[in-house]
Amino acid sequence: MAVSGIIIAGGASRRMGQDKALLQVAGKTQLDRTQAILREAGCEQVIVSRNAEGFIVDKIAGRGPLGGLLSVLPHCVHDTLMLVPVDMPLLSSAALQFLLGYEGAGYFASSSLPCVLPNVPELGDYLTRQLCDDGGDRSVRGMLNWLGAHAHEWPYSYQLQNTNTPQQWQRALTLLGEQ
């Protein structure tokens, strides 16, 4: 199956106090590590949504992961999308392969991200409506519900932890044996 991997790395990292995408794990930045995991999982294309030069910048600023997704959609060349946040240092390629092993849209029951999505025009239309309407649902979970995505159980749910604060980052490094 041909898959476009999308990394959401456009957040301001306010709670972390520094750019989460540039934090180091095993000698690699989170951004480089996430790109490698997507490639290991079988993504033939990897695209980064990041509000910095050299990356795809949000067309509609301040709209979170869905804003980043809307901005990268025109660049995705495959029918299947794997959407991953940059701030999951415990995430494994095995988890992504597990999700890709199922038909259709899917995610882990314990976390909306990462998720697998169809690359269809209706997705772009949905995102545009939600992001441009002041009362629109801007949540990843809302998008997954709209798609009829299936929740899958993953026995290693600790891998799906986001690191938004220095304390969460330190816990993740401890689990990785980095500290």
Residue 90: which CATH number? 3.90.550.10
Q: How far from 88 is each of 124, 131, 157, CA to CA, in Å?
A: 25, 25, 11
2: tokens are 């041909």
Cβ atoms 38, 5 nearer than 8 A = yes
Average of per-residue pLDDT values in the chain: 91
Owning domain of residue 171? 3-176
52: pLDDT confidence band, cut at 50, 70 and 90?
Answer: confident
Whether the pLDDT of residue 84 is over 70: the answer is yes
What is the pLDDT at residue 25?
86
Q: Indicate if the pLDDT at residue 127 is higher than 90.
A: yes
The answer to whether 50 and 21 are in contact (CB under 8 A) is yes
Q: Which pLDDT value is given to residue 165?
A: 83
Provide the CA 168 distance to its chain's centre, in angstroms. Answer: 18
- Is pLDDT of 12 > 80? no
- Tally the C-alpha atoms within 13 A of residue 69's C-alpha that lie toward its C-beta: 30
How far apart CA 79 and CA 20 sit, in angstroms, is: 29
Percentages of the chain per state (helix, strand, coil), in multiples of 5: 40, 20, 40
As for how many domains the chain has, the answer is 1
pTM of the shown model = 0.93
pLDDT of 17 reads 67
